Amino acid sequence: SRGDTRKYIQDLPGMTDRRNLLPTGGVRHVAESRGQTVTEGGPAYKPLVLDSATRHVDVDENYRELLEAQSIISGTPKQVIPKIRQVMEYLRPGSMFLWDGDGSMTHDDAMRSLRLMGEEVVPAMREIAKELDLKSPFDFEPGETTTAASGVAGP
């Protein structure tokens, strides 16, 4: 996420500064989880804002709130799999989208994270989906629905 940018294209009127899209790049907890020491006012501390309407919001506080609400699920596979299970049990989704490697990571950290996602998290999600009898969008014809109680596809 720290690739080259073209500022003259990136900051056109109406466009959002890419640092404002996700709060994790300058969040103290994320930096500390990556072994970085961050002190407020120090050179590595980069307070971020989510958008101009919420500039007063403490990004660290907002990040904690998003974690508590499970809007963001992060951690080791052993930490995230139970949280993902909880989401799958509650929402019973047919599809889930995962975002891996957000924030300022080294290439090695990003590759390790992606490997863990592919080798541990995604297979666990497939097993959970089987246990919960979750259906994929590919299991139905357009317009079909299922009756949760019977699991039978219907018109």
Domain positions in the chain are 1-72, 73-138
Q: What is the pLDDT of residue 136?
A: 85
CA separation for the pair 7, 9 (Å, rounded): 5
Q: What is the pLDDT of residue 134?
A: 92
Residue the block writes with tokens 């720290």: 2
Q: Can you tell me whether residue 65 is helix, strand or coil?
A: helix
Q: What is the pLDDT of residue 112?
A: 94
Q: What is the pLDDT of residue 148?
A: 46
What φ, ψ does residue 154 adopt, rounded to 5°?
Answer: -140, 170
Q: What is the pLDDT of residue 118?
A: 96
Residues of the chain with pLDDT under 50: 1, 17-23, 43, 48-52, 55-56, 148-150
Q: What is the pLDDT of residue 11?
A: 52
Q: What is the pLDDT of residue 86?
A: 93
Q: What is the pLDDT of residue 21?
A: 46
